[in-house]
Amino acid sequence: MFYRVIIFVIGLALVGLTFALMWAGAGIFLDRMGERERVFERARIIAVWTFAGFGIGLLFMGLGGPVLGTVAFYRSARATVPEVSEARVLLWGFSVVLVSTLVAGGLLFGGLALVA
């Protein structure tokens, strides 16, 4: 029973880390695009939608999380910063989703390798 609690806490920490990395990536994106007003709030909105799209993509399509997460990043970023080119937003969205997934997944599989 104690191990289940530990696994649950580690899972929550990895989910939180993934969201935090998406939030940080959205903040870096806004900073690079020259946005200076309400960056914290706008980055949170982009991260929430990106994380929701990523989660739904994983749930319904398996490996579709990066695809749907990128689309969600694109849609929310275009609503927040409409003057940025579409290709730039798509590349930023895919890189934010990919980096956050790789870091969290690397920690997960690294931890599993240490235990096994």
Range of the domain at 61: 2-105
pLDDT at residue number 59? 87
Residue 82: phi and psi, rounded to 5, are: -75, -15
Nearest to 111 by CA among 39, 9, 41: 9
Distance of CA 3 to the CA centre of its chain: 28
Tell me, yes or no, whether 110 lies in a domain.
no
Tell me, yes or no, whether 115 lies in a domain.
no
Tell me, yes or no, whether 92 lies in a domain.
yes
Give CA–CA dist 72/77, Å, rounded. 8
Kindly report the number of other CB atoms within 10 A of residue 37's CB atom: 7
Model confidence pLDDT, tens digit, residues 64-90: 888 999 999 999 999 888 888 889 999
Tell me, yes or no, whether 111 lies in a domain.
no
| pLDDT higher than threshold 90 for residue 61 | no
Tell me, yes or no, whether 113 lies in a domain.
no
Model confidence pLDDT, tens digit, residues 19-58: 999 999 999 999 999 888 889 999 999 999 999 999 999 8
Tell me, yes or no, whether 18 lies in a domain.
yes
- The model's confidence at residue 114, banded by pLDDT at 50, 70 and 90, is confident
Domain total in the chain:
1
Tell me, yes or no, whether 41 lies in a domain.
yes
